[in-house]
Amino acid sequence: MAQPLRVCVTGAAGQIAYSLLYSIAKGDVFGPDQSLELLLLDIPPMMGIVEGVVMELSDCSLPLLKNVVATDDYSVAFKDVDAAILVGAMPRKEGMERKDLLKANARIFEGQGKVIDQVAKKTVKILVVGNPANTNCLITKTCAPSIPPANFSCLTRLDQNRAQFQVANRLGVACDKVRNVIIWGNHSATQFPDVKHATVLDNSGQAGPVYGAVKDDAWLQGDFITTIQKRGAAVIAARKLSSAMSAAKAIGDHMRDWWFGTNPDEWVSMGVVSDGSYGVPEGLVYSFPVKISGKEWSIVQGLEISNFAREKMDLTAKELQGEKETALSFLEQ
């Protein structure tokens, strides 16, 4: 069996982590033959809950799980880690302006980024989940200059999974028959779920365009988009709690693909550092379609962008640019 992989999960007392940790420890994410050490980080008031999570992981009697460490110390949590899943963040509270949310999270992810820079492996793969995920990822990257920018990403796979289901449900097919859905931009209400290049497999296994199968452009450019943009709020309205099970599933999907790669004819959506592709300002953490091989992602190139798509992509980029400028202003000089 391979040497244990050191995996840090922050916000370890929270709902997402509770849904995620069993899946990781069981081998669903990093492979059925990969032993693991889990480092669970949270703030001091939550450590009692984290200790309960440690007890439950122990009681699962999982053969791949070699060690679990619960800590509120960044230096312990990120020491020599191979993967860091940054779930914990300051949630938006009633009456809180977005600027206040950005400020609170800038401080959190600045601190984590600096410690990751000092103590994590330089090969560490970092996935930021805590919202606003794109900008929190940007802050972390900015504060960890010795880690390659390509090692940072944020979660938009949940949005992709949501979009994939909506199309599959509309067509009455299994979700895995719908492929190459794209999420462009910010994990926010400005994101652009795009199925212009997506395909669906028919009963004979032949792939055809989603637009041709759905035969309802008005829905694909209207209610479909707004449903995905507002899905998180809809879950909160129904559950009185934010998405947890679905977020944990998306985290597992994201990290597994990062580790093992994508199929040759498929891509997935990840928030990554823009290189200027598709006219997106360089340096923004923006969701693109990517292919992955050897733990390295590359942005899918050459996709035709319609005027409709261009407008949507520019709108979400503008929001991210504003978030970036605001959040960077809060960093210590």
Q: How confident is the model at residue 217 (pLDDT cuts 50, 70, 90)?
A: very high
Residue ranges of the annotated binding site for substrate are 92, 98, 131, 162
Nearest by Cα to 258 from 136, 140, 139, 123: 123
DSSP E strand stretches across 65-209: 65-71, 83-86, 125-128, 152-154, 178-179, 182-184, 192-194, 199-201, 207-209
The model's pLDDT over 59-117, given as tens digits with 9 standing for 90+, comes to: 999 999 999 999 999 999 999 999 999 999 998 777 778 788 899 999 999 999 999 99
pLDDT score for 65: 98
- Close Cβ partners of 37 (under 8 Å, ≥ 6 residues apart): 4, 5, 6, 7, 66, 67, 68, 69
CB 317 within 8 A of CB 185: yes
> Which string of DSSP letters, residue by residue, matches 281-328?
PTT-EEEEEEEEETTEEEE-------HHHHHHHHHHHHHHHHHHHHHH
Whether this prediction's pTM lies above 0.95 is answered by yes
What is the sign of the dihedral through the CA atoms of 295, 186, 168 and 240?
positive
The model's pLDDT over 301-311, given as tens digits with 9 standing for 90+, comes to: 999 999 999 99
Q: Taking 90 as the threshold, does the pLDDT of residue 190 lie above it?
A: yes
Q: Which residues of 167-201 are buried (b: 16+ CB within 10 A; e: fewer)?
A: bbebbebeeebbbbbbbbbbbbebbbbbbbbbbbb
pLDDT score for 202: 86
Percent with pLDDT over 70 in the chain: 99
Q: Taking 60 as the threshold, does the pLDDT of residue 243 lie above it?
A: yes
Q: Which residues pair with 83 in a beta bridge?
A: 7, 125
The pLDDT of 12-24, averaged and rounded, is 98
Instruction: Give residue 118's identity as a one-letter amino acid code.
Output: Q
Residue ranges of the annotated binding site are 42, 92, 98, 105, 129-131, 162
Q: Taking 60 as the threshold, does the pLDDT of residue 333 lie above it?
A: no
CB 147 within 8 A of CB 122: yes
Peptide linkage before 289 cis (omega within 30 of 0) = no
The model's pLDDT over 118-135, given as tens digits with 9 standing for 90+, comes to: 999 999 999 999 999 999
The mean pLDDT value of the chain amounts to 96
pLDDT score for 205: 83
pLDDT score for 306: 97
Residue ranges of the annotated binding site for NAD(+) are 42, 105, 129-131
pLDDT score for 204: 81
Q: Which residues pair with 41 in a beta bridge?
A: 10, 71
- Close Cβ partners of 74 (under 8 Å, ≥ 6 residues apart): 41, 111, 112, 115
Through-space distance between the first and last CA atoms of the chain, rounded to whole angstroms: 45
pLDDT score for 73: 98
Longest dimension (CA), the chain: 60
The pLDDT of 180-206, averaged and rounded, is 95
> Which string of DSSP letters, residue by residue, matches 210-241?
HHHHH--HHHHTTHHHHHHHTHHHHHHHHHSS
pLDDT score for 2: 67
Q: Which residues pair with 136 in a beta bridge?
A: none
pLDDT score for 1: 57
CA pair distance 78, 73, nearest whole angstrom: 9
CB 285 within 8 A of CB 273: yes
Higher pLDDT, 179 or 241: 179
pLDDT score for 36: 98
User: Any idea which residues carry the catalytic annotation?
Assistant: 187
